[in-house]
Each structure stands twice: as C-alpha cells, then as structure tokens.
C-alpha cells in the first residue's frame, strides 16, 4: 500500500507541474487595463481559436484527474 501511495504522490506532483505549465502558456483573456477600458476585441468565426480551445480542454481534464488523484491519496493515506 505504501508503494501505491508513493506512486500516487509522484503522479500528483507531475500533474501539478503539467497543470501549471498548461495554464501559463495560455493567452490572457484581458490585456491589462486596455481590456477593461473597452477596446475592440478580436473574435473568430466559431468562438475560440483551435489552440486556445485545446488548451482549455487539457486544463480541465488535468484538473479533474488531479482532483481524483488527490482524493485517492487522501483515502489511501488514512
């Protein structure tokens, strides 16, 4: 059981680093004060650009997997 707990800890660390990386490479939705003042925004035909849509999907999935791993880690640790 300690081996699984240790491997789960390593997996949580790797997922956390991956989640931080994916979040930091995403484009900012508001460019500082310029976005708050009401400057014109650029839109695409189907909403978000393909890259941003993919990064949002990856972020959501990584966060969900991280939550499940954290719950398992807590359950196995008690």
What does the domain layout of the chain look like in residue ranges? 48-78
Cβ–Cβ under 8 Å, residues 73 and 8: yes
Phi/psi of residue 39, nearest 5 degrees: -70, 160
Q: What is the pLDDT of residues 26-74, one digit of tens each?
A: 988 776 555 556 555 555 555 567 889 999 999 999 999 999 999 999 9
Q: What is the structure's pLDDT at 30? A: 72
Q: Which of 73, 68, 71, 58 lies closest to 19 in space, CA to CA?
A: 58
The whole-model pTM stands at 0.73
Instruction: Kindly indicate the confidence band of residue 78, based on its pLDDT and cuts at 50, 70 and 90.
Output: confident
Q: What is the structure's pLDDT at 49? A: 75
């Amino acid at each position: 059981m300690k081996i699984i707990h240790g491997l789960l800890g390593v997996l949580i660390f790797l997922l956390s680093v991956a989640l931080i990386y994916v979040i930091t490479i995403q484009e900012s939705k508001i460019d500082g004060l310029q976005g708050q003042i009401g400057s014109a925004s650029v839109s695409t035909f189907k909403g978000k650009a393909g890259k941003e849509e993919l990064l949002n999907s990856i972020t959501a999935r990584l966060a969900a997997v991280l939550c499940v791993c954290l719950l398992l880690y807590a359950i196995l640790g008690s």
